[in-house]
Amino acid sequence: MGKTLEANGAPFRQPEWSAAALIEDPSQVGEAHRQFVDAGADVITTNNYAVVPFHLGEERFDSDGVALTALSGSLARQAAGEAAQVAGSIPPLYGSYEPEKFNPTTAPEHLGRIAAALAPHIDFFLCETQSSTEEAAASMQAVAPFGLPTWVSYTLDDEKPDAPMLRSGESIGAALEVAVHNGAQAVLFNCSQPEVLTNAIPVAVELAGGLDIGGYANSFEPKPEEYSANSVILGHRADLDPVGYLTFVQSWLDAGATIIGGCCGIMPVHIAELRRYLDGL
């Protein structure tokens, strides 16, 4: 969503990131959603990933977070129509890729407010870009009272593609165990290099025990050593054009994935390529 908003000329900057358009020009959010639906997406995700204390600051999140989150839900619902389902994003509260910043004391209240604002507008919850099992468990527990299906998606350590693990260092097996314990219907991996997903998905499929397994990678260039969340807007890999990305997705499907899509930098044109491939099977 963020890169599509940026490409469309919508407000897009740090620290608000994809929330800038939601705040300043919500019509741009609806248009970006429609582009993904028109490309053939079966699921679109609410644009509240950055409506969290980390991106907005505690004061602005406290005053505006619920209203902005509810707006993200209604915009997605309207754009989806009868053509797609709406996943309600339960994002990292305290920074992407940084499990050490997770605060179990303040998280339940924040997560509960996000879930309550989304629930009237969505088909299921998507606890996404979760860096640790602790973070994932808190997210799944926060959405449980609303009685909607839940998918959980973990982000993986890009530095260890041959030994896939969460960014916390925890194993794929531990991630699956926590998901099952908290009632998830699907386990995915997202916002990581596609090569890492290629190695993680077969492990997860073997351990799945009936859960749907899937993935939606990003197209980021490798992060610089000085990278920290909310500090830069990363560039994107030239080799991950729609055909290049499809090559990775094909390997995930061959390994048993049943849910596939795209994260940062994967645009409507990529989704259209995936749609053409799937329709041709």
- Backbone φ and ψ of 235, nearest 5°: -80, 175
Tens digits of per-residue pLDDT, 211-268?
Answer: 999 999 999 877 555 545 555 566 889 899 999 999 999 999 999 999 999 999 999 9
- Backbone φ and ψ of 114, nearest 5°: -65, -50
Tens digits of per-residue pLDDT, 112-149?
Answer: 999 999 999 999 999 999 999 999 999 999 999 999 99
Instruction: Fill in the amino acid letter for 105.
Output: T
C-alpha–C-alpha distance, residues 35 and 194, integer Å: 23
C-alpha–C-alpha distance, residues 157 and 165, integer Å: 6
C-alpha–C-alpha distance, residues 46 and 66, integer Å: 13
Q: Is 207 left (phi over 0), alpha (psi -120 to 50) or beta?
A: alpha
* Residues 187, 154 contacting (CB under 8 angstroms): yes
C-alpha–C-alpha distance, residues 143 and 272, integer Å: 31
Task: Confirm whether pTM is higher than 0.75.
Answer: yes
Task: Tell how far CA 93 is from the center of its chain.
Answer: 13
Q: What is the pLDDT of residue 234?
A: 66
CATH among 3.20.20.330, 3.40.50.10900, 2.60.40.10, 3.40.640.10 for 2-280: 3.20.20.330
- Angle of the 242-254 helix axis to the 268-280 helix axis, nearest 10: 50
So where are the chain's domains?
A: 2-280
Asked whether residue 47 carries a pLDDT value surpassing 70, the answer given is yes
Give the DSSP H or E segment for 248: helix 242-254
259-260 and 212-216 beta bridge pairing: parallel
Which 3 state secondary structure label does DSSP give 124? strand
Which 3 state secondary structure label does DSSP give 181? helix
Give the DSSP H or E segment for 268: helix 268-280
Place of tokens 């996000």: 114
- Smallest CA-to-CA distance from 189 within 259, 90, 98, 118 is with 259
The pLDDT confidence band at residue 5, using thresholds 50, 70 and 90, is very high
Q: What is the pLDDT of residue 226?
A: 53
Q: Around 24, how many Cα atoms within 13 Å sit in the side-chain half-sphere?
A: 12
